């Protein structure tokens, strides 16, 4: 959510910057400006009435104490009209406030200046591409066939016990999952992130704080009986740890990492893009989250990108880093880098990580602030997060790219975690 004062003071800037996201903000900004003026006016009137009311009430108290009941009664009569005014002003204030909020949350975050122009994924800027794309033998196959061949992932069994998109990992398949999680967490810890093990379900307030609610309600599984939501990413519980907080400037940046299962309803997707591990309702991910001082958030974003890059490098996967264009960015992000690894058997790039700076967009909702060391005033912090990494597509690429007639080779860095060096 953009800051209201900022919109009021910089209406043209907001409209101009959102053009890059192909969002026409002119009407909303105009409405907000008009409503805000009305809101301030209403508040000024209401406050004045209330001040008068408070004054009279105090006088009545004094009169009553002195036993001057008749004078007190006279004073009481004066309050009736005031009371009615206050009620009306408060009502219209609340109504305007709600109206502003309702349209304020429709505005996406402003893209950073270096965000490329563009509409579609094709317009994303490839900022780096590294690693050899392996040349596979004639009879190489996509990962869902490998999964079956070596009996390490059973999609049908998942369908039986739960439904499509809930795979069952077996034997070395289960062990490599566990290995990847441990590897990612260890790497994050060594990079300075504090490991968190968060709840997998969150309440409504948390869903609101990170922006899943109220709009994207359909993307989360909802346990209606208890009104709890299954988390779509560890970002939700971890970022919400700091909701409604005023942190000390010296405690920034806060760096957290968490492994969690992630649950996504992702209704309406179909086709070969969702085959196998490409898109799931439940998957595993290690997330990294930072709460940052605004002056440093972009340096920290670069650090996070470097961290994710080191992971894909250690896994020996060919990868590329994209700076997302305005049209392909998420609603909440100011700058996003996507990581894609090349899946040799499917012959396409698979997104495995998305690293973003949200600036103060999330923190505004979360009421997440820090105390400025000079002014001693609370200032909204910046939040960042990234996948480091999401497992399924990494696993898909590992299986496909490392397949040989003798079996699937495990990257060196994972062998100590797996306890085996080949899947055969």
Interface ranges with RNA (CB under 7 A)? 4-5, 36, 40, 43-44, 46-48, 50-51, 53-58, 60-62, 64-65, 76, 79, 83, 226-227, 246, 369, 371, 375, 377-378
Identify which of residues 57 and 313 has a Cβ nearer to RNA in the complex.
57
We find the least distance from the C-beta atom of residue 303 to RNA, in angstroms, to be 28
Q: Check if the beta carbon of residue 85 is closer than 8 Å to that of residue 49.
A: yes
Closest residue by Cα to residue 99 from 24, 44, 33? 33
Identify which of residues 36 and 357 has a Cβ nearer to RNA in the complex.
36
Separation CA 260–CA 277 (nearest Å):
17
Helix H or strand E encompassing 243: none
We find the least distance from the C-beta atom of residue 305 to RNA, in angstroms, to be 31
Separation CA 184–CA 223 (nearest Å):
30
Radius of gyration of the chain (CA): 27
Separation CA 260–CA 264 (nearest Å):
13
We find the least distance from the C-beta atom of residue 40 to RNA, in angstroms, to be 4
**Which alpha helices (H) appear in 10-120, and where do they start and end?**
11-18, 26-65, 69-104
Q: Check if the beta carbon of residue 367 is closer than 8 Å to that of residue 244.
A: yes
We find the least distance from the C-beta atom of residue 11 to RNA, in angstroms, to be 14
Identify which of residues 57 and 162 has a Cβ nearer to RNA in the complex.
57
Q: Check if the beta carbon of residue 35 is closer than 8 Å to that of residue 72.
A: no
Identify which of residues 251 and 273 has a Cβ nearer to RNA in the complex.
251
Helix H or strand E encompassing 352: strand 348-357
Going by C-beta distance under 8 Å and a sequence separation of 6 or more, which residues neighbour residue 341?
A: 312, 317, 318, 319, 349, 350, 352, 393, 394, 397
Q: Check if the beta carbon of residue 344 is closer than 8 Å to that of residue 396.
A: no
We find the least distance from the C-beta atom of residue 200 to RNA, in angstroms, to be 14
Going by C-beta distance under 8 Å and a sequence separation of 6 or more, which residues neighbour residue 148?
A: none
Identify which of residues 138 and 226 has a Cβ nearer to RNA in the complex.
226
Identify which of residues 60 and 317 has a Cβ nearer to RNA in the complex.
60
Closest residue by Cα to residue 233 from 214, 215, 206? 206
Identify which of residues 13 and 51 has a Cβ nearer to RNA in the complex.
51
Identify which of residues 243 and 275 has a Cβ nearer to RNA in the complex.
243
- The pair of structure tokens assigned to 22 is 């192909």
We find the least distance from the C-beta atom of residue 397 to RNA, in angstroms, to be 35
Identify which of residues 132 and 226 has a Cβ nearer to RNA in the complex.
226
We find the least distance from the C-beta atom of residue 176 to RNA, in angstroms, to be 25
Separation CA 169–CA 175 (nearest Å):
8
Separation CA 385–CA 362 (nearest Å):
11
Identify which of residues 33 and 330 has a Cβ nearer to RNA in the complex.
33
We find the least distance from the C-beta atom of residue 77 to RNA, in angstroms, to be 8
- The pair of structure tokens assigned to 258 is 């968490």
Helix H or strand E encompassing 287: strand 282-292
Q: Sheet containing 422-423: give its strands across.
A: 403-404, 407-409, 422-423
We find the least distance from the C-beta atom of residue 125 to RNA, in angstroms, to be 36
We find the least distance from the C-beta atom of residue 293 to RNA, in angstroms, to be 16
Cβ-based neighbour number of residue 385 at 10 Å: 26
Phi and psi, residue 263, nearest 5°: -125, 125
We find the least distance from the C-beta atom of residue 51 to RNA, in angstroms, to be 3
Identify which of residues 65 and 272 has a Cβ nearer to RNA in the complex.
65
């Amino acid at each position: 959510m953009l800051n209201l004062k900022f919109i009021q003071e910089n209406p043209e800037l907001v409209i101009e910057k959102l053009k890059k996201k192909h969002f026409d903000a002119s009407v909303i900004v105009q409405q907000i400006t008009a409503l805000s003026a009305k809101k301030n006016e209403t508040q000024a009137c209401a406050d004045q009435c209330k001040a008068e009311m408070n004054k009279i009430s105090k006088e009545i108290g004094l009169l009553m104490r002195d036993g001057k009941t008749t004078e007190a009664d006279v004073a009481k009569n004066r309050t009736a009209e005031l009371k009615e005014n206050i009620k009306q002003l408060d009502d219209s204030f609340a109504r305007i406030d709600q109206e502003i909020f309702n349209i304020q949350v429709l505005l996406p975050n402003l893209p950073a200046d270096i965000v490329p122009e563009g509409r579609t994924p094709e317009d994303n800027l490839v900022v780096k591409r590294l690693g050899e794309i392996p040349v596979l033998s004639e009879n190489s196959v996509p990962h869902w066939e490998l999964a079956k061949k070596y009996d390490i992932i059973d999609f049908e069994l998942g369908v039986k016990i739960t439904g499509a998109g809930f795979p069952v990992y077996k034997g070395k398949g289960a062990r490599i999952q566990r290995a990847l999680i441990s590897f990612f967490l260890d790497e994050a810890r060594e990079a300075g992130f504090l490991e968190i093990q968060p709840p997998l379900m969150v309440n409504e307030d948390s869903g609101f704080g990170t922006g899943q609610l109220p709009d994207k309600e359909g993307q989360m599984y909802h346990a209606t009986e208890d009104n709890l939501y299954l988390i779509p990413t560890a970002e939700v519980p971890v970022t919400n740890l700091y909701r409604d907080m005023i942190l000390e400037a010296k405690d920034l940046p806060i760096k957290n990492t968490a492994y969690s299962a992630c649950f996504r309803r992702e209704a309406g997707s179909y086709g070969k893009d969702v085959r196998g591990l490409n898109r799931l309702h439940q998957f595993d991910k290690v997330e990294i989250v930072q709460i940052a001082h605004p002056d440093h958030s972009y340096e920290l974003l670069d650090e996070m990108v470097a961290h994710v890059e080191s992971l894909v490098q250690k896994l020996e996967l060919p990868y590329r880093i994209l700076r997302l264009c305005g049209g392909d960015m998420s609603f909440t992000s100011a700058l996003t880098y996507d990581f894609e690894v090349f899946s040799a058997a499917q012959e396409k790039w698979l997104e495995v990580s998305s690293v973003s700076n949200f600036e103060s967009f999330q923190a505004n909702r979360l009421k997440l602030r820090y105390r400025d060391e000079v002014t001693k005033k609370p200032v909204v912090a910046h939040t960042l997060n990234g996948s480091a990494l999401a497992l399924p597509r990494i696993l898909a690429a590992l299986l496909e790219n490392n397949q040989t007639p003798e079996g699937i080779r495990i990257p060196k860095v994972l062998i100590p975690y797996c306890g085996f060096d080949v899947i055969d």
